Amino acid sequence: MQLAQRNMYRFPWSANDNPIGWLEVTDKCNTYCRGCYRINGMQGHKTLDQVKEEIQLLKRMRNCDNISIAGGEPLIHPQILEIIAYIKGQRMKPLILTNGIRLENDRPFMVELRKAGAIGFTFHIDSEQARPHWKGKSETELFELREHYADMAHSVGGLFVSFGMTVYPGNLDFVPEMVAWANRHIDRVHGLVFIGFRNAMPEGEFDFSAGGQPINPEMSYIKGNTTTEEAWLTSRDIYAKIKERFPHYETSAYMGGSHNHDKMTWLVSAQLGTRRRMYGSSGPRVVELFETLHHLRHGTYVIYSPSNIIPKIAFLLGLVDKGVRATWREFWKEVRKHPSELFSPLYMQSIGIIQGPDLLEDGRVDMCESCPDMTVWDGKLVHSCRLDEWRLYGDYITCTPRKQPVGANGAVIPAESIPVAAAKEAVPGD
Ligand code: SF4
């Protein structure tokens, strides 16, 4: 199927009704990831009181189903267990975004996190990190480490586990390998998240200011630690790369851009399969039904669930969803050849593709429409990918093109120079 908005469900989220609340408990990190949005250790760990206040604000303003606990590296916060328990006590799902280093040799700590109420982890592991003992390893060599975390969480039980990586033109070809690996471990890997690397890199073309004052921006994504050749990757490119190798893969939901309505900032797919093989992907109707029913029943939209086992009765959704129908057909073909497949558990595995903000020619920044990762700064909601602009300059940075777009220089256009289509001569009786 063609990748087009009309073939997908548009997430109905908004700033005030969004399944995700983004909480940064610290800005300290125990490693370095290329492409990280955050300046390491500028402010340190937040106090428990400050964190609780932010959680309350997210709950009130966002109506969240889950709180994504991020940083910095959240697992090095000394009160992480209390934070998780507090979120759970507020009837929201705590999900931890981590590089996993703190957990690598500490399964009992994972058990404690689970007991405190964590519903799962998104592990960020990629070859562009300066990870102790794994520095210089290729993406393929890092499968051993990913598997270690997936096995650990599986043995603890009841945890959502997904893996994220930043995608650069240089590792784009690896994306299908990652999908193949996740498909083979569908019983313990619930999802993948691919974040296309972006940076503004407009040096020489824009003037920058914040709060009306000219500035020289310090953020990695503007100053850049890379070249413009690396900044072109879009969610469509990543989608196409996966599709090239996996015909069963299809996307079911999307989110657009705040200015560019052709862009797909988030693309989400729900693949269906067993440990033996993948059969297909759900279509847009299933996601629409899932979001609507969750909102009717719980009053919130949803994105994470700790279990990915799907009862086979769910194939009945094929009555309303083309994707499920096609998956059902594939499944039955296989059952005829291998009847034991009928008794294999069926799983759902998500793939999320995120394309970050773009700086447009006229100086506007195209964000993710209804950004799911808004966080708290000074009592208000700001986009977490641009939080450092507030931390450094107390405002979003404004970019002004040095070359003004034609017609935008404030000049008055003489009326006689405005082209007007020749008026049709009035014909009596017309
Ligand atoms: S706009 Fe929101 S969802 Fe998009 S990259 Fe920034 S923080 Fe993430």
CA 265 / ligand 1 centre spacing (Å): 9
pLDDT value, residue 430: 45
Q: Which residue has its alpha carbon closest to ligand 1 atom 8?
A: 373
Candidates 111, 122, 101; CA nearest to 182 is 122
What is the tens place of the pLDDT at every residue in 154-182?
A: 999 999 999 998 898 888 999 999 999 99
CA 384 / ligand 1 centre spacing (Å): 6
Return the HEC string of 145-169. Answer: HHHHHHHHHHHHCCCEEEEEEEECH
CA 302 / ligand 1 centre spacing (Å): 17
CA 344 / ligand 1 centre spacing (Å): 38
What is the tens place of the pLDDT at every residue in 330-379?
A: 999 999 999 999 999 999 999 999 998 888 888 899 999 999 999 999 99
Range in 24-38, 127-141, 407-421 with the lowest mean pLDDT? 407-421
Q: Which atom of ligand 1 is nearest to the CA of 258?
A: 1
pLDDT value, residue 149: 98
What is the tens place of the pLDDT at every residue in 218-247?
A: 776 665 444 555 667 899 999 999 999 999
Out of 198, 263, 381, 384, mutate this one to test ligand 1's pocket (max ligand atoms within 8 Å of CB): namely 384
Q: Which residue has its alpha carbon closest to ligand 1 atom 6?
A: 385
∠ CA 95-178-322, nearest 5°, is 80
CATH homologous superfamily of 15-158: Aldolase class I (3.20.20.70)
Q: Which atom of ligand 1 is nearest to the CA of 384?
A: 7
pLDDT at 324 over 80: yes
Mean pLDDT for all residues in the chain = 90
Residues with CB under 6 A from ligand 1: 265, 356-357, 367-368, 371-373, 383-385
Q: Which atom of ligand 1 is nearest to the CA of 383?
A: 7
Range in 55-69, 317-331, 406-420 with the lowest mean pLDDT? 406-420
Out of 221, 303, 367, 376, mutate this one to test ligand 1's pocket (max ligand atoms within 8 Å of CB): namely 367
Out of 382, 383, 386, 390, mutate this one to test ligand 1's pocket (max ligand atoms within 8 Å of CB): namely 383
CA 346 / ligand 1 centre spacing (Å): 32
Average pLDDT on 105-113 reads: 97
Whether this prediction's pTM lies above 0.85 is answered by yes
CA 145 / ligand 1 centre spacing (Å): 27
CA 184 / ligand 1 centre spacing (Å): 30
Domain boundaries, the chain: 15-158, 169-198+233-372
CA 87 / ligand 1 centre spacing (Å): 22
pLDDT value, residue 33: 82
CA 159 / ligand 1 centre spacing (Å): 25
Q: Which atom of ligand 1 is nearest to the CA of 356?
A: 5
Q: Which atom of ligand 1 is nearest to the CA of 371?
A: 2
Out of 385, 389, 396, 397, mutate this one to test ligand 1's pocket (max ligand atoms within 8 Å of CB): namely 385
What is the tens place of the pLDDT at every residue in 375-401?
A: 999 999 999 999 999 999 999 999 988
pLDDT value, residue 361: 85
pLDDT value, residue 23: 98
CA 19 / ligand 1 centre spacing (Å): 14
pLDDT value, residue 39: 86
Q: Which residue has its alpha carbon closest to ligand 1 atom 5?
A: 356
CA 36 / ligand 1 centre spacing (Å): 13
Q: Which atom of ligand 1 is nearest to the CA of 375?
A: 7
